Structure 1
Amino acid sequence: MKKTNNIPLLIMLSIIMAAISSCKRNDGYNVPISKDQSKPGVVTNVKVDDYNGGSFITYDLPNSENILYVLATYQIRNGVTRETKSSYYSDTINVEGFAKAQEYTVTLHTVTRANVYSDPVMVTVHPKTPVYEIVSKTLALQADFGGVNVKSLNLFKKDIGLVVTAFNKSTHQMEVEDQHYTNTDTINYSLRGYSTDSRDFGVYVTDKFGNISDTLKRNLSPLLEVLLDKSQFSTFKLPSDTPIGYGWVTSNLWDGRTDGSSDGWHTLPGQTPPFVTSFNVGRSYKLSRFVIWERPDDGQVVYAFAHGNPKTFTLWGSNVAFPNDAKLPLSSPLGTVVGDWINLGNFRYPNPPSGLPPNNHNAADNAFVLAGVNFNVSIADPAIHFIRLSVSQNWENGDIAHVMEISLYGQPQ
């Protein structure tokens, strides 16, 4: 082979090596990438725009191509200092995490590519009331079945945490019992597993910056909660119930078998929603919650988050001795009354916890289905003696519905 045939290859290798040399990794703002040790000028024409828990600071940069970023240093509460950096290509820096609505001093420096700092510029900001404090002002703590219920509003939909504490009889101290993180606008959840004995409970709000609100304290006696006795359940077939398919009868919903290895409740194909089944729970209860076990994957067919498993559904109840049949609507608000039946709640089965698409869930998501999913019933709902499960939509918008098991909890009346 002639040597001249290697010339294009050598040229190409030279170009690649040059490109690699020119693409050295920059680990961030702290790596000096200039030998110019001159002190940079300061920012000017500084303006402040305060918001809840923080402030936007705008400025004019000095005329220097050697500046890499602007550094803001500030205390968000006593003993806690934060730093925020903003690129040379921006004229605004965001300082956030302040614990109170009060004046704070922010120190601004311009920093060069050689890591040389300018003289400081002191800026006064006055952030508005932080979101965690706004949320804390709407906190409500009340007794619930088997524990306590926490309600609050987070109208800004920011990331906050609610921490529930309770008096521990062993340590004689208030101990953290639960930490609930959310960014939803309406907060309503219950912490259960307590006896009916009175005890001190508390709840406070925190945020991602470690700020903590005052604690709302209450002495509360949790309400009695029991698992409804499934041996007392019986089918209560009504004319408008959806026809059964494949012999998967309603009574399978309380046979205690949840793993998909046996039959559950299954409607006949070719039906239109809502898919409804009805049963008698044996006596009157004021419900607190229920657990649904949807059909899991069986190793051959994907059922979890698919097929006829309910995606949205409603629980209807009646406390009439022998409630009459009524054709249930596809959707209705909580508390809607149709004949002898009342809407106890509209529910949506959660998406796969992994974040994967429902039709591409993983083994952990299937384990989530196998474990059963808990749904709360409003404490304001009336007592019931009969239940109707009404599935308005399955995961594939199909013409069937199926569920493996249901467990209900509440207080006997």
Structure 2
Amino acid sequence: MEKMKYIMRFLTAMVVCLSLLIGCGDTYLGVEQVVIDTNRPDKLTVNKVVAQSGALEIHFSIPAGNPNIDQVVATYKNKKGENVEFKVSRYSSTILVEGFTGTDEKSIELACVDVSGNKSDITTVNAAPLLSPLEIAFESLFVEPAFGGVRLKWKNNNANPLAIHVLTEDILQVGVVSLVEDPTKTIYNRDSVNTFAFVRQYPSIEQKFGFTVSDKWGNRSDTMINSLIPYKEEEIEFKYVKAVSFFNPTYYAGSRDYGIYGVNPATGIQNDANAHAAGNAPQTMFNGVTSGNLYYGYKFVKDLSNTDPSKRETVHDVYATFDLNMEARLNRVKISPRVHISYTYSRSSPKRFRIWGTNDANSARWAKFPEGWTLIGEYVGKTPVNLASLTDEEKDWFNNNQEYLINEDNVNPDAKPTEPFRYMRLQLMESYNKNEAYYTINEFQMFGEILKRY
């Protein structure tokens, strides 16, 4: 009996397999099978070639009446002797062939390929591209000394992906100094506007730097070599910076009425903000602590006592004043905000601020403002593409690398970023959420050239 069951199952399986084989003659599960042939398609016709930067845009027509043509392939050999291939579908009439350097004539081979993999005879195009993005960047590359290093500028008008490689002096063997690439300093650029960068930190002594440019196609420029002396940059040590009380800062856990507390009646100058408590005083911006819940300064409110909230007006400008106990020319400042995610590009974190400076020559510095003071610069924080979905890079900049270059990032044409000063008045102008009643900062770091200590 068991033997009979085995025979029946075997016969059933054979019948099913035969049925499938018979049914697969033209279709399988309703999908038509591709007919394979060996007939080569006719050649394509090139109609026009447009030279572009490091590329050739080739306009073509495929042979008429051949529905089996699947794609068009363009191939050339790069400087390493490797084949570089580009493909477009049959529905395209142009193909962009990229990755060239130089403006001499290039040879590109084009062919049609059908659904069976058959390739047509080759159509050869000989044409010269325009100067490549890599070469434009290299020829426009300008290097100059900067605080703590060097500053580079270049052109990348079409926002092509480029990398600038930095070579610095290194002793590979005793008595021999060579230029060696430092991969930690490589600059990656895919932007037509932000085409500058700083390379730091280096001592303020004459030294050689080398720079080369590469692109995504593996092309690499020659090496530009410069002998430069970086400007000396020092951190303005927080232990020397002291908050001053000449503009009447106070402690109070809330906003105060501008008409009563906001202005010094003797001078007509707006007072410094009231801090939430002693642990949130202006001095906490200069204590070396870059995390926590430190400076917490309230905005004044006009007509605060008015029972109708619509009649109240928030004064968004908040001041804090300091004595650096040295005369310095700033190069950059770095803000450490409250690090909780709710403060990242949000809430009371400062978005726009100004730096005012003066020195001992201004004997009326505590009685007059802004008269006698110099606007060093005005700065605006970045705005993320999508606040609801911050990228890791956006979060890292805001919380760890929120840096402002005193000269390059200044947005106020009336400012004098190179002016040295001893006394600083920090003016917070706008928070990321204007509805917040206060500003918060953990640390305000400054870097530059110290001209004199007191």
Report whether the alignment pairs 1:104 with 2:86.
Answer: no
- Taking the TM superposition and a 5 Å limit, the aligned residue runs for 1:52-63 are 52-63=53-64
| C-alpha separation in 1, matches of 2:188 and 2:118 | 41
The equivalent residue for 2:422 is: 385
| C-alpha separation in 1, matches of 2:348 and 2:443 | 14
Amino acid at match of 2:321: S
Tell me by how many angstroms 1:377 deviates.
Answer: 2.6
Report sequence identity in percent: 22
- Taking the TM superposition and a 5 Å limit, the aligned residue runs for 1:14-163 are 33-63=34-64, 64-163=66-165
- SS of 2:186's equivalent in the other structure is strand
Q: TM-score, normalising length from structure 1?
A: 0.80
Tell me by how many angstroms 1:231 deviates.
Answer: 1.9
Q: Deviation per CA, 1:229-265, whole angstroms, max 9, x where unpaired?
A: 22221224543355224133211100222212x4224
- Taking the TM superposition and a 5 Å limit, the aligned residue runs for 1:293-372 are 293-297=336-340, 302-319=342-359, 321-322=361-362, 323=365, 325-326=368-369, 339-349=372-382, 351=384, 357-361=386-390, 369-372=398-401
| C-alpha separation in 2, matches of 1:21 and 1:253 | 72
The equivalent residue for 1:15 is: none
CA contact (8 A) 1:56 1:92 kept: yes
Q: Deviation per CA, 1:278-323, whole angstroms, max 9, x where unpaired?
A: 32211111222222101111xxx72222101122333333345443
Tell me by how many angstroms 1:23 deviates.
Answer: 7.9
Tell me by how many angstroms 1:48 deviates.
Answer: 0.3
CA distance change for structure 1 residues 187 and 366 in 2, over 3 Å: closer, same or farther? closer
The equivalent residue for 1:221 is: 229
Amino acid at match of 2:178: Q
CA contact (8 A) 2:275 2:282 kept: no
Amino acid at match of 2:95: I
CA distance change for structure 1 residues 320 and 115 in 2, over 3 Å: closer, same or farther? farther
Q: Deviation per CA, 1:93-132, whole angstroms, max 9, x where unpaired?
A: 1101111122101100100101110000001121111112
| C-alpha separation in 2, matches of 1:75 and 1:57 | 17
CA contact (8 A) 1:245 1:267 kept: yes
| C-alpha separation in 2, matches of 1:135 and 1:77 | 20
CA distance change for structure 1 residues 183 and 49 in 2, over 3 Å: closer, same or farther? same
The equivalent residue for 1:243 is: 273
Q: TM-score, normalising length from structure 2?
A: 0.74
Structure 1 unaligned blocks of 5 or more: 1-19, 25-31, 328-337
The equivalent residue for 1:374 is: 403
CA contact (8 A) 2:59 2:94 kept: yes
CA distance change for structure 1 residues 22 and 244 in 2, over 3 Å: closer, same or farther? farther
| C-alpha separation in 1, matches of 2:396 and 2:110 | 51
Report whether the alignment pairs 1:282 with 2:289.
Answer: no
CA contact (8 A) 2:233 2:447 kept: yes
Amino acid at match of 1:388: R
Rg larger for: 2
CA contact (8 A) 2:275 2:295 kept: no
- SS of 2:449's equivalent in the other structure is strand
Structure 2 unaligned blocks of 5 or more: 1-27, 248-268, 302-313, 409-416
- SS of 1:358's equivalent in the other structure is coil
- SS of 1:154's equivalent in the other structure is coil
Q: Deviation per CA, 1:34-83, whole angstroms, max 9, x where unpaired?
A: 41221001111431011111111011110210000000001343424310
The equivalent residue for 1:402 is: 440
Which deviates the most, 199-208 or 232-241? 232-241
| C-alpha separation in 1, matches of 2:42 and 2:316 | 70
Amino acid at match of 2:276: Y
CA distance change for structure 1 residues 121 and 362 in 2, over 3 Å: closer, same or farther? closer
The alignment's C-alpha RMSD in Å is: 2.9
Give aligned pairs, total: 370
CA contact (8 A) 1:46 1:58 kept: yes
CA contact (8 A) 1:282 1:385 kept: yes
| C-alpha separation in 1, matches of 2:56 and 2:405 | 39
